[in-house]
Structure 1
Amino acid sequence: MSAMQALIDVRESGAYLLMSVGGSGALRRHLAEMGLVVGKKVTVVQPASKLSGMVIFFQGQRLAISDEIASLLVVRPFAMDADTPAIALADLPLRQAGLIRTIKGDPSLRHRLMDMGLTKGTLVKIHQIAPLGDPIELAVRGYKLSIRKQDAAHVLVTEVTSDGDT
Structure 2
Amino acid sequence: MKTLNHLKTGESGVVDYITADGALKRHFLDMGITKGVVVTMERIAPFGDPVAVRLRGYSLSLRREEAKKIVLEAGG
Confirm or deny a common fold (TM above 0.5). yes
Check if 1:132 corresponds to 2:57. Answer: no
Distance 2:54 2:37 in 1: 11
Which residue number in structure 1 is paired with residue 28 of structure 2? Answer: 113
2:64 to 149, 152, 158: 149
The count of corresponding residues between Structure 1 and Structure 2 is 76
Which residue number in structure 2 is paired with residue 103 of structure 1? Answer: 18
Which residue number in structure 2 is paired with residue 122 of structure 1? Answer: 37
Q: How far off its partner does 1:117 sit? A: 1.0
Structure 1: runs of 5+ lacking an equivalent? 1-85, 161-165
| TM-score when normalising by structure 2 | 0.91
Structure 2: runs of 5+ lacking an equivalent? none
Same amino acid, percent of matched pairs: 34
Q: How far off its partner does 1:108 sit? A: 1.1
Q: How far off its partner does 1:149 sit? A: 0.7
Distance 2:44 2:60 in 1: 11
| TM-score when normalising by structure 1 | 0.44
Distance 1:154 1:121 in 2: 15
4+ residue stretches of structure 1 with deviation over 4 A? Answer: none
